Every structure is written in structure tokens, then in C-alpha cells.
């Protein structure tokens, strides 16, 4: 699902699943918006006050078309990894505050 950008902004996509494939030259990320129907995720939950919703299977995830495909060079993928390794501890600390 894409938001329409103004003339000076890139398109923004929402996704809650990312699949990745890395090789010696590039990292390919596919972003998917996986929202399974309640009738499937809540099967057998009638009358329950707490329901464990099962994680989607790989087949369910891959059956959904990606909303975006991002290809990064290997060097850029390494930069992204280092950035996330450094940024996540601060982000998690801020979320708990």
C-alpha cells in the first residue's frame, strides 16, 4: 500500500514483513503487507478471552505480492547493518522510557 507523495517526496510504503536474500553483490529486500483475515487467524477461538494468533506460514507470506522491492549493493547493505546495530539500542531505550 503506497501513500501518494507530493512532487518532492519519495513514495512511502507500509509493510510488516520483510524477506531478504543476500549474495556476494547485493541484498534484496522485499516488503510485504501481511494482514490475514480474522476468520483464518481466529479459527477455533470462539468464546476464548485470550487468543494465541499463530504466525503466518512462509507459504502465506510468499503468496502476498511485495509492495516494494529494494536492492542494495553489498557495501550499502554493510552500512545499513552497522547503522541498525548502533541505532537499535537507543531506539529500544527510548521506547521503554
pLDDT in tens, 13-33: 889 999 999 999 999 999 999
Question: Where residue 5 falls among pLDDT bands split at 50, 70, 90?
Answer: low
- How much is the pTM? 0.71
State the average pLDDT over residues 91-97.
90
3-state secondary structure (DSSP) of residue 85:
helix
> pLDDT, tens digit, for every residue of 29-64?
999 998 877 666 666 666 666 767 778 889 989 999
**Contact in structure between 96 and 88 (CB atoms under 8 Å):** no
Give the C-alpha separation, 51 to 76, whole Å: 41
State the average pLDDT over residues 71-91.
95
Domain annotation for the chain: domains and CATH numbers: 14-36+57-97 (2.30.31)
Q: Give the model's pLDDT for residue 87.
A: 96
Amino acid at each position: 500500500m503506497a501513500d501518494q507523495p507530493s512532487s518532492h517526496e519519495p513514495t512511502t510504503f507500509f509493510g510488516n514483513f520483510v524477506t531478504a536474500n543476500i549474495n556476494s553483490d547485493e541484498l534484496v529486500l522485499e516488503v510485504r503487507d501481511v494482514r490475514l483475515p480474522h476468520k483464518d487467524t481466529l479459527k477455533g477461538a470462539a468464546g476464548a478471552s485470550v487468543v494465541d494468533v499463530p504466525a503466518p506460514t512462509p507459504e502465506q507470506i510468499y503468496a502476498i505480492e511485495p509492495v516494494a522491492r529494494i536492492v542494495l549493493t553489498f557495501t550499502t547493505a554493510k552500512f545499513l547493518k552497522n547503522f541498525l546495530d548502533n541505532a537499535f539500542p537507543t531506539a529500544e531505550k527510548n521506547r521503554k522510557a
